[in-house]
Amino acid sequence: MSLVRHKALRRLLKTWKRRVQVLDDAINLDLGVEEVKLIRGNQIELPDWLIHVLEPGGYVSQYPLSIEEISKYLYQEKQNATVPASLVQIPWDFYVRARYTLRKLSSSQNQGDIENSKKLSQMVEDILRVRMRKIVQLASLNVWDQTLISKMTPEEILVFQDLRRSLDAINGDKNGDSTT
């Protein structure tokens, strides 16, 4: 069940809009529900699936995460690494943008970009490790604080919900309750 939910989330994320920079104003797009006009230099929100169609053609460019931005989030998360209620607000598309940034840097021929890719990869892993520790603690403490949940990315919310369901099932079985 969890695998199905993760696949569904991946597909759902492709429909969510993200901000991009328009590089070329050669086309107008009719998406059925709305019409999108690309004007060079503008920032526009497009569905993720459309970004992946337009970017290779040079029409739009995603916003990568900078080393400074990732460093800031890592520093803030580590400030209270053992306090589960201290999740830092990160962008909802943090992991998507981090993967994009790492892919872009690692495919570069520039030695500095390759070194930055290694640094960024380690920092993202550190952020993930600290945040997952906090999320596991929140789930085990049965905390359903909407303020904390709103600071999680969609992927983290799914992990949190799966952990809660698993813990509820264990507690239900432990108490003689066989309902799932």
Within this chain, domains 1-62 and 67-173 share the same CATH topology: no
pLDDT tens digit sequence for 43-89: 988 889 889 899 998 899 998 899 999 999 999 999 988 887 889 99
pLDDT of residue 173: 56
Higher model confidence: residue 141 or residue 180?
Answer: 141
Query: Which pLDDT does position 175 carry in this prediction?
Result: 47
- Reported confidence tier of residue 174, pLDDT bands at 50, 70, 90: low
Fold annotation for 67-173: Methane Monooxygenase Hydroxylase; Chain G, domain 1 (1.20.58)
Please state the domain extents for the chain: 1-62, 67-173
| Class of domain 1-62 (CATH, top level) | alpha beta
DSSP characters for the chain? -HHHHHHHHHHHHTTSEEEEEE-----EEE-SS-EEE--TT-EEEEEHHHHHHHTTTTSEEE-PPPHHHHHHHHHHHHHTTT-TT-PPP--TTHHHHHHHHHHHHHT-S-HHHHHHHHHHHHHHHHHHHHHHHHHHHHHHTT---HHHHTTS-HHHHHHHHHHHHHHHHHHHHHTT----
**89 within 8 A of 151, measured Cβ to Cβ:** yes
Confidence grade of residue 176 (pLDDT, cut at 50, 70, 90): very low
- Is the confidence at residue 177, as pLDDT, over 50? no
Please determine, for residue 148, whether its predicted confidence score (pLDDT) is greater than 60.
Answer: yes
